[in-house]
Amino acid sequence: MTAPANTFTALSYNIGGLAGLVSTNDRVGPVKEIGKRIADWDIVNVQEDLYLHAFLYDADTHAYRSESDGGVTYRRNGVDGGSGLNTLSRLPFSNTSTFGRTKWVECSNFDGRDCDISKGFSLVEIQIADGVSLDVYNLHADTVFTAEDEKARAANLAQLGDFIAANSASNAVLVMGDTNTKYTSAGDTIREFLDGQKLTDAWVQTIRKGKAPEKGSPELKCDLAAVTNDCEVSNRILFRGNNYINLAVDTWNNEHKAFLAADGKTLSNNVPVSSKFSWTLNPDLHLSNAYGGPHAVWFSDIALAAPGQTVTSVTIRSGRWLITSMELHWGSHKGKTRIFYLKFSTNKDHFVEGGHRTAASTIAKAPDGFQLVGFHGRSGDEIDALGAIFTKVAAST
């Protein structure tokens, strides 16, 4: 199932890969079957992908997949187990980012073994078109509903929220994973997390017409004999666009039926959920891809970009001269990719340049009627990756 242009599909599924719940032999077949069936979606986040990870990937056909951080389920001899978090995609992972995982600072073993598992969240940038990308987060929050668990889970969401604010502040974002939350639970903070990061819950938006269940209201349990989209599950799909990408959810579906075995039993003890998204771009903006390496810290001027802006900090800017192209060269320095050379050219064939040319290079050109006004990429002590942000030229320019 390939989504049409300017749409993509997404699935989040806790595949039930914790060792010790059932025998390994009992789980191999179901995990292989999950690996086959998840191929129907463009972007897939899985949780609890641990000791049977090889069987999942062996059956899967996605072109881009994160590497496992270990199949050991529980902490042993002072060594952490794997996170169980992986992302699989038909759409490419960005060349200027890496798949990163972060462990929760707080956990609870009051009722469960959350502290013995390296639960946390992951981030990868996925490119849905040239110059168009999403920050895709996966998570697995503290489980069970004691007061200690709810406290840890609230801390998990707060930690993720702080990370998104620091690393994806002006980016389009897709968050999919097992939150172990319910809107109806008085102690859960999923609503506060969404509000803090300006995220929309795909289930709330599509199935509940934008109105989330109230805290303290009756739990919306799923009847496994007759599952509908109206019941609330803890695996969620959350999203937001940005100044460049308008992201809209078209559908949300509880995929319980799509992951039943031939005997009618579930392939996992958790419920998968899916969505279809459509997206459009701000016609006044245009972004090139970023080029370089995945090192240092992300940055972007996209939140500040607006039509009619002019660049004043580059000395060639004057009168009706507009910067219309950026040439950049990159290479390796001390084991990291750096930008070695930049050249900015104007619509009047003037240019300014600096640095040393390398074999790896590209030229980012403004579309007709656009000019360069900002950048996005990664930087630290030096510039590691760089892309151009173009806006429409004001009529009076």
Question: 3-state SS string over the chain?
Answer: CCCCCCEEEEEEEECCCCCCCCCHHHHHHHHHHHHHHHHHCCEEEEECCCCCHHHHHHHCCCCEECCCCCCCCCCECCECCCCCCEEEECCCECCCCCCEEEECCCCCCCCCCHHHCCCEEEEEEEEEECCEEEEEEEEECCCCCCHHHHHHHHHHHHHHHHHHHHHCCCCCEEEEEECCCCCCCCCCCHHHHHHHHCCEEHHHHHCCCCCCCCCCCCCCCCCCCCCCCCCCCCEEEEEECCCCEEEEEEEEEECCHHHECCCCCECCCCCCEEEEEEEEECCCEEECCCEECCCCEEEECHHHCCCCCCCCCCCCCCCCCCEEEEEEEEEEECCEEEEEEEEEEECCCCEEEEECCCCEEEEEECCCCEEEEEEEEEECCCEEEEEEEEEECCCCC
Query: Per-residue pLDDT averaged across 86-101, rounded?
Result: 96
Could you tell me the pLDDT band of residue 24, with boundaries at 50, 70 and 90?
low
Average pLDDT in the chain: 91
Q: Quote the pLDDT of residue 3.
A: 58
Mean pLDDT of 103-111: 85
| Alpha carbons 97 and 302: distance in angstroms, whole number | 18
Rounded average pLDDT over 111-120: 78
Domain-located, residue 332: yes
Q: Are residues 163 and 228 in the same domain?
A: yes
Q: Largest alpha-carbon pair distance within the chain?
A: 74
pLDDT above 90: residue 358: yes
Q: Is the pLDDT of residue 250 over 50?
A: yes
Residues of the chain with pLDDT > 70, as a percent, come to: 89
Q: What is the model's pLDDT at position 224?
A: 85
pLDDT of residue 37: 98
Quick one: pLDDT band at residue 43, thresholds 50, 70, 90?
Answer: very high
pLDDT at 396 over 80: no
**Residue range of the domain that includes 146:** 7-281
Q: With a cut of 70, say whether residue 397 has pLDDT above it.
A: no
List the single range of 31-45, 77-91, 229-243, 254-268 with lowest mean pLDDT. Answer: 77-91
pLDDT tens per residue, range 195-227: 999 999 999 999 999 999 999 999 999 998 899
pLDDT digits (tens, 9 = 90+) for 161-191: 999 999 999 999 999 999 999 999 999 999 9
CB within 8 A of 22, min separation 6: which ones?
Answer: none
Same domain, 156 and 217: yes
Identify the CATH number of the domain in which residue 359 sits.
Answer: 2.100.10.30
* Contacts of 275 by beta carbon, 8 Å cutoff, 6+ apart: 9, 10, 202, 206, 237, 249, 250, 251, 252, 253
For residues 237 and 310, what is the distance between their CA atoms, to the nearest angstrom? 38
β-pair partners for 277: 8, 249
CA triple 354-356-362, angle to 5 deg: 85
The answer to whether residue 226 is domain-embedded is: yes
Statement to judge: residues 203 and 344 lie in one domain: no
Query: Which band of pLDDT confidence, cut at 50, 70 and 90, is reported for residue 78?
Result: low
258 inside domain: yes
Of 281, 298, 326, the domain-final residue: 281
CB 128 within 8 A of CB 8: yes
CA 151 to chain CA centroid, nearest Å: 25
Q: How far is 125 from 103, CA to CA, in rounded Å?
A: 19
Residues 197 and 114 in one domain: yes
Q: Does residue 340 share a domain with residue 205? A: no
Closest CA to 338 of 296, 292, 377: 292
Residues 258, 353: one domain? no
**What CATH number does the domain containing 88 carry?**
3.60.10.10
pLDDT of residue 112: 59
Residue 288 lies in a domain: no
Domain boundary among 281, 300, 334: 281
**What is the pLDDT, as a whole number, of residue 298?**
92
- What is the Cα–Cα distance from 363 to 203, expressed in whole angstroms? 42
Whether residues 264 and 349 fall in one domain: no
Shared domain check, 237 and 119: yes
pLDDT of residue 61: 98
Strands 132-140 and 120-129: antiparallel
- Per-residue pLDDT band for 307 (boundaries 50, 70, 90) equals low
The whole-angstrom separation of Cα 141 and Cα 145 is 12
51 and 160 co-located in one domain: yes
Phi, psi angle pair for 25, to nearest 5°: -60, -35
254 and 344 belong to one structural domain: no
- Hey, what are 108's tokens? 């609870």
Q: Parallel, antiparallel, or unpaired: how do β-strands 245-254 and 285-287 relate?
A: unpaired
Neighbours of 342 (CB within 10 A): 15
**97/244 same-domain check:** yes
Q: At what angle do helices 190-197 and 147-167 cross, to 10 degrees?
A: 10
| Count of the separate structural domains present in the chain | 2
Do 115 and 164 sit in the same domain of this protein? yes
Is 286 part of a structural domain of the chain?
A: no
Over residues 47-76, mean pLDDT: 88
Establish if 291 belongs to a structural domain.
no
Of the three residues 261, 281, 301, the one that is the final residue of a domain is 281
Query: Do the domain assignments include residue 254?
Result: yes
